[in-house]
Structure 1
Amino acid sequence: MYVLVEQGGLTSVDVGSWDTSNVTTMSRMFSGASGLTSVDVRSWDTSKVTDMSWMFYGASGLTSVDVGSWDTSNVTTMSRMFSDARGLTSVDVGSWDISNVITMTSMFYGASGLTSVDVRSWDTSKVTSMTYMFVDATSLDSLKLGVKFRFKDSTGLMEKNAVPYTGKWKNAQDETVSYGSTAGFVKGYDGSKPGTYVREKIK
């Protein structure tokens, strides 16, 4: 579905009542729709969709998108799904079933407005690539992680060592659990201490 690709002047679109029950690809659907400030997709049936790559790429006018109830159980690729969606401050993907996803390459690349991402229900056992997943997600200071989540390869999650940051990540529920650096966090998180991990700041 390349219906709205590169429609930079578009500010709104009525797609809430669309029947998407037989759609298998939503790749690039809102790609480049930089003027879009809202889109109602919360009731879409995505149960047959396998490809969500580049879906909101460059949709920099969106501050939020309600995709929390989507059925993603058949999706295999989410590459660049929210890449360069710089206006997004949050995205509700915490309850998604991503157990069949293989690639998440650059999924949040350049999503510089995101302050937190909830992936606590994610089972990443089939994921082979998270390359550049968080590159230039410069505001990302909080990650909610679950028991079946593992970082894969070079995610690009940035180090923050300058004041007010210490460079460490801490479990907000148990501050005895911490990692001395972002690299250590990405390498060391094994699912045994799930919870909300936040960047430590100088008190």
Structure 2
Amino acid sequence: MSGMFDNAIWFNQPLNNWDVSSVINTSRMFNAALVFDQDINSWNVSNVKDMSGMFCDAWYFDESLDNWDTSNVENMRQMFSSAKFFDQNISSWDVSKVTDMTEMFNGAKYFKKILNKWNVKSLKKYDKVFEDTHLLENEKELVLSEWTTKIAQK
């Protein structure tokens, strides 16, 4: 499903009944689908390994994703980059296999969730992960400090 709705600027149709249980790559799926904002919380994404850029530039996407099983995902690079209005609670996600979160929330201007409890034991890259978000500097520092400690304890 990689790039399926890439640059589908005006796409905003319901997809909640799709069976994605066999999908392993959702990278750039909604990239630049500017107005996409549909409920896909029921999707079974337990086999997905690559979610990089999935909602990159999906400006208006702000739907709950707290039911997603992300335990097999390895790449979340730019997943919500420039998803300007995204601010959902994804603190329950299992990100223990993720190695790359570079710019994951970069430009997600309204994102202000503190994700310091995530298990980031496999994380190798996370440059600019919270750049240009509504997180306060001390909140960013708290999260990154705790992540650094967890990574060092591997």
> Please, what TM-score do these two structures have when normalized by structure 1?
0.67
Q: Which residue of 2 aligns with 1:52?
A: 51
> Please, what TM-score do these two structures have when normalized by structure 2?
0.87
Q: Which residue of 2 aligns with 1:103?
A: 100
Compared CA separation, residues 22 and 95, structure 1 to 2 (3 A): same
Q: Which residue of 1 aligns with 2:119?
A: 123
Whichever residue aligns with residue 128 of structure 2, its letter is Y
* SS of aligned partner of 1:136: coil
- Name stretches of at least 5 consecutive residues in structure 1 with no aligned partner: 142-158, 160-168, 171-181, 192-203
Equivalences for residues 148-163 of structure 1 within 5 A: 159=137
Compared CA separation, residues 19 and 99, structure 1 to 2 (3 A): same
Measured against aligned partners, the alpha-carbon deviations of 1:73-108 in whole angstroms (never above 9, x if no partner) come to 1000000000001122x1221111111000000000
Q: Which residue of 2 aligns with 1:173?
A: none
RMSD: 1.9
Whole-Å separation in 2 of the counterparts to 1:20 and 1:92: 22
Whole-Å separation in 1 of the counterparts to 2:143 and 2:72: 26
Q: Which has the higher strand share?
A: 1
Q: Which residue of 1 aligns with 2:135?
A: 140
* SS of aligned partner of 1:119: coil
Q: Which has the higher contact order (CA 8 A, sep 6+)?
A: 2
Give the structure with higher Rg (CA): 1
* SS of aligned partner of 2:113: strand
Is 1:41 equivalent to 2:47 in the alignment? no
Q: Which has the higher helix share?
A: 2
* SS of aligned partner of 1:112: coil
Measured against aligned partners, the alpha-carbon deviations of 1:84-139 in whole angstroms (never above 9, x if no partner) come to 01122x1221111111000000000011112x2142541111100111111111x2
Whole-Å separation in 2 of the counterparts to 1:69 and 1:84: 23
